[in-house]
Amino acid sequence: MYEQLRELIADQATTGLYVASAWARQGGIALLEDELVALRGRLPDDAVRGLFGIDLGGTTVEGLEAAVGCFGSVRLFHHPGKPPRTFHPKVYVVEQGERAVAFVGSANLTRGGMAGNFEATVRLEADRSAKADRDFLEQLAQWYDRLWNDPNATIAVSEAGLADFVAKASAWLPTEAQARAATRRGSSSSTRTKTGFSPFSPVTGLPPVPASPGKPPPPGAVVDDVAVDDTAAAAEPELEPGELITPVDDTDLRVLVALVPHDRWGQVGFSKVITEGFFRLFDNGNVAWVEGVRQSGATTPARETRLVNPAGSNDNHRVELREPDLRGDPKNQGQRGMVVVLERSLRTFRYMHLRPGDSAYALLADEIARRSPYGPGQAGKTKRVLMTYGELLEAWPGDCPLTA
């Protein structure tokens, strides 16, 4: 949906856009930023509208900043009644004169909703010359306008008034850092924050990136400092698991850094813990898309790869990541190769091969030595670690060729 939506927004035939999304976050809007800004620049403000919810802490301060910078008009919806009612729609309508395209489904305007989660969306194409289509579009517009103009639940937000709104908001508006801290917690506690956040254990098989040793927690990590009436909290729905494991922005993307045998640089062998937990490849024939990044920063064409399970072994799986620079295996030279793999979205990766002498090889070897190992391995001999893309950029000074 995201790719189709981006293409429609960029189309010069587009005469209007209106969006209703329960959540808006910086990462999701960034995927459409160039097209939205261009559309806003050539259409009246009220022709590019965004209506977003602020329930459950799903919309962030940075998400609102991005929204007011990209949409002509932005309003926030929050129902203050008892019991609380969550604003939950995900509707995207692109108008092109007599023609319109509507996307209705489960995808929030977040990075996960646009490009990472398992979502379901229906694309509806309508032509106002047909009465049934015209009636449908009118009903859809009436539904949107009722929400947009609700004096008890909506408030207009502009760039000039955003800071004042955030300071006075009665609902919790987290920063991206606070949202990450809240969604990364794993706990069996039943405590909630004032907006109904519930601690959620990570989904089995999708391990979170361990915290770097010696680094303090992110700013605003403590979010459960306000007590809530149990009756009111019980009426609020839980957060969706898919949103909880979704990176908030590129710096949260997972990166695998691994040493590989000197004579098999084109084949990276892992146990099932890693092939399933990081690569999300199982013994069912599913496919991953991989792009190699050369030392120059150039990217090879994306290609399909499947899990290779030699001789039916349950322990030794293989993902073939051949060196993009085609330098070959330095056999019998006593060198250990290194592969750095960035998970961009579900089963979509970019990777680089490094060898001694390459930029950042020694620095990343130190990271491997000092971090806790990821997956099984020989005691005292860490071979692979998991980190975030933000931590990779910190460890790789200068311009890292492995871009998100």
Look at residue 206 and tell me if it is in a domain: no
CATH number of the domain residue 351 falls in: 2.40.330.30
Rg over CA atoms, the chain: 24
Please state, in angstroms and rounded to a whole number, the distance separating the CA atoms of residues 399 and 326: 22
pLDDT surpasses 60 at 371: yes
Please state, in angstroms and rounded to a whole number, the distance separating the CA atoms of residues 93 and 17: 6
* C-alpha distance from residue 231 to each of 188, 240, 394 (Å): 19, 21, 45
**In total, how many domains does the chain have?**
2
Q: Are residues 51 and 155 in the same domain?
A: yes
Please state, in angstroms and rounded to a whole number, the distance separating the CA atoms of residues 94 and 117: 23
Q: Are residues 155 and 262 in the same domain?
A: no
pLDDT of residue 191: 32
Q: Which among 389, 386, 388 has a CA at the least distance from the CA of 377?
A: 386
Domain edge (last residue) among 150, 168, 186: 168
Q: Residues near 354 by Cβ (< 8 Å), separated by ≥ 6?
A: 337, 338, 339, 340, 360, 361, 364
Q: Are residues 292 and 164 in the same domain?
A: no
Backbone angles phi, psi at 322, to 5 degrees: -70, 145
pLDDT of residue 232: 29
More confidently predicted of 70 and 324 = 70
Q: Are residues 289 and 144 in the same domain?
A: no
Mean predicted confidence (pLDDT) in 343-356: 87
Determine which of 26-35, 179-188, 394-403 has the lowest per-residue pLDDT on average.
Answer: 179-188
More confidently predicted of 169 and 151 = 151
Determine which of 126-135, 148-157, 161-170 has the lowest per-residue pLDDT on average.
Answer: 161-170
As a whole-number percent, the residues of the chain with pLDDT over 90 amount to 36
Backbone angles phi, psi at 359, to 5 degrees: -55, 130
- Give residue-wise pLDDT tens across range 6-29: 999 999 999 999 999 999 999 899
More confidently predicted of 153 and 146 = 146
Q: Are residues 17 and 137 in the same domain?
A: yes
As a whole-number percent, the residues of the chain with pLDDT over 70 amount to 73
Domain edge (last residue) among 168, 195, 213: 168
pLDDT surpasses 80 at 91: yes
CATH number of the domain residue 35 falls in: 3.30.870.10
Look at residue 349 and tell me if it is in a domain: yes
Q: Are residues 48 and 157 in the same domain?
A: yes
Contact, 72 vs 18, CB < 8 A?
no
Q: Are residues 28 and 153 in the same domain?
A: yes
Determine which of 39-48, 190-199, 302-311 has the lowest per-residue pLDDT on average.
Answer: 190-199
Residue with tokens 């590019």: 48
Please state, in angstroms and rounded to a whole number, the distance separating the CA atoms of residues 381 and 351: 23
Look at residue 200 and tell me if it is in a domain: no
Look at residue 333 and tell me if it is in a domain: yes
pLDDT of residue 178: 79
Look at residue 120 and tell me if it is in a domain: yes
pLDDT surpasses 70 at 315: no
What is the pLDDT of the chain when averaged over all its residues?
77
Q: Are residues 146 and 279 in the same domain?
A: no
pLDDT surpasses 90 at 341: yes
Look at residue 202 and tell me if it is in a domain: no
pLDDT of residue 7: 95
Mean predicted confidence (pLDDT) in 260-281: 72
Determine which of 149-153, 170-174, 344-348 has the lowest per-residue pLDDT on average.
Answer: 170-174
pLDDT of residue 132: 95
Look at residue 16 and tell me if it is in a domain: yes
pLDDT surpasses 70 at 269: no
Q: Are residues 146 and 286 in the same domain?
A: no
Prediction pTM value: 0.54
Q: Are residues 276 and 134 in the same domain?
A: no
Domain edge (last residue) among 146, 168, 190: 168
Q: Are residues 300 and 156 in the same domain?
A: no
Look at residue 104 and tell me if it is in a domain: yes
Q: Which domain holds residue 257?
A: 253-395
